[in-house]
Chains A and B, each alone.
Chain A
Amino acid sequence: MSTPSDGSEESSPATFGLYEGEFGPGEVPPEYEQEAHVEEHRTTLQRIGRTLRRDRLALAGAVVVLVFLLLALFAPYVAPHGPDQTFGFMKAPLTESVGDFDGDGTTETVTHYLGTDSFGHDILTRIIYGARVSMLVALATVGVAFTVGTTLGIVAGFYGGWIDSVIMRYVDFQWAFPEIILGVAIIALMGGLGVVNVVLAIGIAFIDDFARIIRGEVLSIREEEYVTAARAVGMADLRIMFKEMLPNAVAPLIVQATLMLPLAILAEASLSFLGLGVKPTTPTWGLLISDGRQFISQAPWISVMPGLAIMLVVLAFNTLGDGLRDAFDISETEVE
């Protein structure tokens, strides 16, 4: 199990070795000095920036993610039509609807780049509006899981003893469950549909992943000198945990969060597809696929187009997450 700092520590002596013998005691080759300097002060943000500059695939992922975020944010301005505006039914992609759609008494021709669904909604428009739900739910769920999971994990790792046992027993218990089943069960217990319920259901289902990772990190840094120092000067436990330890354990959490976002998107789409997601009238990718399911012989594009959207955004998050994982030198066995 390697910690994120391993990479930098290993690289410095190797560089030094090259120059061994050429410099007297106390003298350090200028390249080495600079290298060490950079390595020491590279912050999390700088590492992310460096990954994006070096790893083309991760950069492409980041760009796609950004595009979807912007689409979600500015849906009403970007979408060609209103989400509930109706045109001809089940129009194939790149076909046109002709009629008076804006109510001004003249006839217009409207091109449907991705076709229309069984209600006559423009699919491109529904997908753009669907991105809102997907992105919002994904960010909110990972936010919930991150907050609760990190708190549980840091408390468990910091205090140890029976507190650790109780928390980790619970985490193990949850770890043993299919996330989507857990989500469905939580929806059943909450007895209602809606964005908040979906966020809570998926968020709770993801808590264990964060708790496990942060606990491991906390255990490995608990005995570090700066923690002992913080205790010695009488710092409060809460402050040590969240101000001293958390910032030093944040890298694997960021990687994990990036890898959880696509899972959250898939989970939301699955719940929507099952009819257990947000309100049935809200445009979401899962619902769109579910509506198209009955028409796969006449109009396969209704299901295929939003499915491709899910695939694209999940793929983008995964390439970004993989790139970051490599950048922070976290082994694949540690996260996921």
Chain B
Amino acid sequence: MWRYIVKRVGHALFVMWLVATTVFFGLRAIPGGPVRTMLGQEATPEAVASLRADLGLDRPLTVQYVDFLTDLLTLDLGRSITSSEQVGSIVAQAAPKTFAIAGVGVALGLAVAIPAGVIGATRRNEPADYAATVAAFLGISMPAFFVGILLAIVFGVYLDWLPIVGYTSISEGVRPWFESVILPAVAVGLPYAAGVTRMMRSSLIETLNEGYMRTALAKGVDSRVRLYKHALQNALIPVVTVAGIQLALVLGGSVTVELVFSIQGLGRVLVNSILERNYPVTQIAILLISGVFVFMNLLVDIAYTAIDPRIRIGGEGA
């Protein structure tokens, strides 16, 4: 088991190095270089040269690359071009907002999706199953930002229950924080829940048809134990995979949903930096979002060891 975890951590670090390298060379491969794009076509050669020197772009590529990696490791992230603010502090202000939205969204999503999937599978072709199936189908067909806008119209404008602009820090009280986070969280959580519900339902249906379920029935195992111990534990394995992969949907969704609710999260920082051609911010934002995602996938992989004894015992596999 430990060997497996060490292998996974190594893989995650390798992926992060690959992302950093891709971002580094990718940004430098832009025709004319980032400086030309940042200053515009009319910039004087002197201005270009001085910004290049400022950013250290006049040095050999290998030196720049080594510097870039050391800076990353020492968290010396440089300054924004448009506001000369430290990139580190920009990102540090934005990240908690995105994490709050994504975290609450995933928690709500799973809290709804797992029971809904179980109900769908155990009461197959009953009204409850149809309701869950139709809701899940609608859920996977709506972009998160559209869900966000509908929520804002209903709960913000029409009912006037919740704020629809901005983010309140948790230090100003749990209630205002929760009120500012709940609508965006539901917006990113709904498409997520829809995907997980579908997987939970089909996986549990498949498991319920397995031979060992019939054996358990024949042995006279109590129906609750059969469902929760024999069936659910096995059915959850592919669900965990999907729940992990679909985290991408939550992070991607939060980029657009932050715009709906005018929240200055990581997504907004990333998109604005691209629109302003603020490359130092762009590269760190991409790295941070990728890092979060790789880390979450790592956690999901490790969670496998808890639910799938084949990995725990075998050490290899999956």
User: Is A191 among interface residues, defined by CB-CB distance under 8 A?
Assistant: yes
By a CB distance below 8 angstroms, the chain A residues around B113 are: none
Taking a contact as CB atoms closer than 8 A, the residue among B18, B251, B255 that contacts A274 in the complex is: B255
Taking a contact as CB atoms closer than 8 A, the residue among A185, A191, A274 that contacts B37 in the complex is: A191
By a CB distance below 8 angstroms, the chain A residues around B253 are: 180
User: Is B196 among interface residues, defined by CB-CB distance under 8 A?
Assistant: no
User: Is B51 among interface residues, defined by CB-CB distance under 8 A?
Assistant: no
**Which of A26-34, A217-225, A265-273 makes up part of the contact surface?**
A265-273
Interface size on A, as a range, is 35 or more
User: Is B142 among interface residues, defined by CB-CB distance under 8 A?
Assistant: yes
A255 → B minimal CB distance (Å)? 15
Q: Is the CB of B149 within 8 A of A289?
A: yes
Query: Complex: how many Å from CA A145 to CA B222?
Result: 49
Q: Is the CB of B252 within 8 A of A303?
A: no
Binary contact track A173-190/B, C-beta < 8 Å → 1, others 0: 100111111001101111
Question: Are A173 and B15 CB-contacts (below 8 A) given A179-B248, A275-B271?
Answer: yes
**Which of A47-55, A97-105, A150-158, A307-315 makes up part of the contact surface?**
A307-315
Which 4 pairs of residues, A with B, have the shortest CB-CB distance?
A180-B252, A178-B248, A307-B146, A315-B141
Q: Is the interface of B mostly helix, strand, loop or mixed?
A: helix
Which parts of A130-181 form the interface with B (CB within 8 Å)?
173, 176-181
Taking a contact as CB atoms closer than 8 A, the residue among B153, B198, B249 that contacts A178 in the complex is: B249
Q: Is the CB of B157 within 8 A of A311?
A: no
By a CB distance below 8 angstroms, the chain B residues around A181 are: 248, 251-252, 255, 270, 286, 289-290, 293
Taking a contact as CB atoms closer than 8 A, the residue among B31, B143, B260 that contacts A310 in the complex is: B143
Q: Is the CB of B248 within 8 A of A189?
A: no
Q: Is the CB of A184 within 8 A of B293?
A: no
User: Is A333 among interface residues, defined by CB-CB distance under 8 A?
Assistant: yes
Taking a contact as CB atoms closer than 8 A, the residue among B149, B242, B277 that contacts A191 in the complex is: B277
Q: Is the CB of A333 within 8 A of B143?
A: no
Taking a contact as CB atoms closer than 8 A, the residue among B29, B149, B156, B274 that contacts A304 in the complex is: B149
Q: Please, which residue of chain B has its CB at the minimum distance from the CB of A185?
A: B286
**Which of A12-20, A71-79, A232-240, A292-300 makes up part of the contact surface?**
A292-300
Taking a contact as CB atoms closer than 8 A, the residue among B23, B140, B145, B294 that contacts A273 in the complex is: B145
Q: Please, which residue of chain A has its CB at the minimum distance from the CB of B32?
A: A191
User: Is A262 among interface residues, defined by CB-CB distance under 8 A?
Assistant: yes
A-B contact pairs, 16 of them (CB 8 A): A176-B297, A178-B248, A181-B252, A185-B23, A187-B274, A188-B274, A191-B30, A191-B277, A269-B143, A273-B256, A297-B157, A300-B153, A304-B153, A311-B142, A311-B146, A332-B202
By a CB distance below 8 angstroms, the chain A residues around B18 are: 173
B267 → A minimal CB distance (Å)? 8
Binary contact track A314-336/B, C-beta < 8 Å → 1, others 0: 11001100000000000011001
User: Is A249 among interface residues, defined by CB-CB distance under 8 A?
Assistant: no
Q: Is the CB of A270 within 8 A of B30?
A: no
User: Is A276 among interface residues, defined by CB-CB distance under 8 A?
Assistant: yes
User: Is B26 among interface residues, defined by CB-CB distance under 8 A?
Assistant: yes
User: Is B121 among interface residues, defined by CB-CB distance under 8 A?
Assistant: no
B235 → A minimal CB distance (Å)? 12
Query: Complex: how many Å from CA A319 to CA B18?
Result: 38
By a CB distance below 8 angstroms, the chain A residues around B141 are: 262, 311, 314-315, 318
A313 → B minimal CB distance (Å)? 9
By a CB distance below 8 angstroms, the chain B residues around A292 are: 149
Query: Complex: how many Å from CA A297 to CA B203?
Result: 42
User: Is B88 among interface residues, defined by CB-CB distance under 8 A?
Assistant: no
By a CB distance below 8 angstroms, the chain B residues around A176 are: 15, 293-294, 297
Q: Is the CB of A188 within 8 A of B140?
A: no
Binary contact track B281-315/A, C-beta < 8 Å → 1, others 0: 01000100110011001000000000000000000
Q: Please, which residue of chain A has its CB at the minimum distance from the CB of B286?
A: A185
By a CB distance below 8 angstroms, the chain A residues around B143 are: 266, 269-270, 273, 307, 310
Add 20 more A-B contacts to A303-B149, A318-B137 (CB < 8 A).
A176-B293, A178-B248, A178-B251, A180-B256, A181-B252, A181-B293, A185-B23, A191-B30, A191-B277, A270-B255, A273-B145, A274-B255, A276-B271, A276-B275, A293-B260, A296-B152, A296-B156, A311-B146, A315-B137, A332-B198
